[in-house]
Amino acid sequence: MAFLPGSGLRARTLRRLRQALGPEISDGALRRIAWQAFRNLAFTAVEGMRLSRITPDWVAGHIDLGPVGQVRAELAKGRGAIIAVPHMGNWELAGIALHSQGVRLMTLARRQKNPLMDAWINRIRRSTGVEAIENRSRGIGEIAGKLAAGQALALLPDVRAKAGAVPVRFLGVDTEVPGGAARFAREAGVPILTAEVLRRGWVRHEWRITGRVESDPRLDEAEDRRRIMQAVMDRLGESVRAHPENYFWFNKRWVLGGEPRP
């Protein structure tokens, strides 16, 4: 009912789709993508409520674990890795899939405005065994050391940043995104693996590695961060354009900034 024709949510989603996918796609195709993306969000919310009860057997039966080998190959070199994924499919499950296969994983968490919601989300995340580090806590200063020691870090860089932002072009629009992935890659000397998570049907999931980028210590730090983040966002943009029905078009921190109105 929240997505019935005439609702503000539906109208906003269609504006965002048009902004990101361009004038070539038909109105009918946009409506289909919008509905599938909203349905995916509903399924993801239900799955989120039961994350604490997800077992390795469930992961093996519902999630394609192919990329785990690529991540392990990176970690076998004696250093960690950063995995950057867009808000696609059920992005939380990518981290849980890695952790269920023995990869020591940490992630950044943003404090929610509602304290009850914040406590509930953190409780669920802790129950999965993945280490969640609040993005404004002292734990941020320990991430580079943990990466250098062989842990993996999962990040969602496709949000609009207010401070410490890096200018990039994403989905055809100039915007600014957090530079944490580039910062940690440079400080710890670890690679960034870009990945995508897709819902296949209602309850099965596929995730795969889509690219790899490393820092270049010969470059000026600001220049290197821009280069890294642009490479990351290019890969994430390709994933979104190829599978728009899997993307989370509903984020309040809309990465492309203002939305053009008719």
| Across 119-133, 168-182, 235-249, least confident range | 119-133
How many whole angstroms separate alpha carbon 186 and alpha carbon 107? 17
Residue 126: pLDDT above 70? no
Judge contact between 154 and 83, C-beta under 8 A.
yes
The secondary element (H helix, E strand) that includes residue 32 is helix 27-49
Residue 262: pLDDT above 80? no
What pLDDT score was predicted for residue 138?
Answer: 80
**Can you give the pTM of this predicted structure?**
0.90
Helix 91-100 / helix 68-75 crossing angle, nearest 10 deg = 60
What pLDDT score was predicted for residue 128?
Answer: 66
262 vs 180, which has greater pLDDT?
A: 180
How many whole angstroms separate alpha carbon 105 and alpha carbon 128? 11
The number of beta carbons lying within 10 Å of the beta carbon of residue 262 is 5
Q: CA nearest 54: which of 198, 196, 157, 205?
A: 205
How many whole angstroms separate alpha carbon 259 and alpha carbon 89? 23
Q: Find the mean pLDDT for residues 39-67.
A: 85
Residue 32: pLDDT above 80? yes
| Across 63-72, 77-86, 194-203, 217-226, least confident range | 63-72
State the residue for tokens 């899939």: 97
The number of beta carbons lying within 10 Å of the beta carbon of residue 261 is 7
Q: How many CA atoms lie within 13 A of 231 on its CB side?
A: 19
Judge contact between 184 and 147, C-beta under 8 A.
yes
Residue 168: pLDDT above 80? yes
Helix or strand or coil: residue 153? strand
Cross-strand bridge partners of residue 248: none
Residue 243: pLDDT above 90? yes
Greatest Cα pair distance, the chain, in angstroms, is 55
Tokens of 15: 């504006």
Mean pLDDT computed over every residue of the chain = 89
% of the chain with per-residue pLDDT over 70: 92
Q: Find the mean pLDDT for residues 151-175.
A: 92
What pLDDT score was predicted for residue 206?
Answer: 92
What length is written for the chain?
Answer: 262
Q: CA nearest 89: which of 36, 21, 11?
A: 36
What pLDDT score was predicted for residue 117?
Answer: 66
Cross-strand bridge partners of residue 211: 194
125 pLDDT tier (thresholds 50, 70, 90): low
107 pLDDT tier (thresholds 50, 70, 90): confident
Residue 137: pLDDT above 80? no
